[in-house]
Amino acid sequence: MVILLFGPPGSGKGTQSPRITALLQIPAISTGEMLRAECEAGTPLGNIASAVLAKGHLVSDGLVNQMLVGRLAKPDCRDGFLLDGYPRTVPQAEFLEEFLRENGFPRPTVIHLATPISVLVERISARRQCPVCGRIYNLLFQPPKKKGVCDIDGTNLIRRADDTVEVVRERLNSYEQQTAPVIAHYSGGDYHAIPANRPPAEIFRDIEEMLKPRIANCPRLSAHGT
């Protein structure tokens, strides 16, 4: 099974992704993490990407596609995978469709964590981070035990410069403009908009309910009683 997980910053992808992959017993692949890993490992593709990023440019679709193909060729992706952060453009979506078809994978199931921008701004602007250990808190959902202080090392928490209301709103508007064509591309297929302005458990309940018929048709998963 192939899952494409879409959602703007603050929509809860980081919470739902591990739940979905545990349910389906498939790996989650974040293209951002994949890119960083390639760069840090100094692979040929990583070196090319590092040089591009050092100049302040965006990594091309072609380069991201090559990295992705290499990752999907690994044994843990044999029975499927979840992609987070890909495809970001319609050409990437078209490339992925051809790859899936040529390699015998089913068409993707698209899960879109749809959340009003006003809610996302509130969520993200409520984030605080420990400047020492890096732990992130959310004053709305996961506040520190002691107000304004990290639970781990007692350091005063800070708000990152890119978590201000103005910056967050600009980032979200850019995300919407960038991903709208991709969402439209998939809207006629196995596409599911899941309202994400709710507790995480409720969101996952709806995702699980939506996936049940697909799990029932998958011998590997149904045999394990998933």
Known catalytic residues are: 13, 88, 127, 160, 171
Cβ–Cβ < 8 Å for 1, 218: yes
Q: Residue 111 to residues 13, 104, 106, 144, 210: CA-CA distances in angstroms?
A: 10, 21, 15, 31, 10
Within the chain, residue ranges assigned H as helices are: 13-24, 31-41, 44-54, 61-72, 90-102, 117-125, 165-186, 200-216, 219-223
**Residues 6+ positions from 26 with CB-CB distance below 8 Å:** 1, 3, 77, 79, 80, 81, 82
**Residues 6+ positions from 204 with CB-CB distance below 8 Å:** 16, 19, 20
Which among 139, 116, 141 has a CA at the least distance from the CA of 129?
A: 139
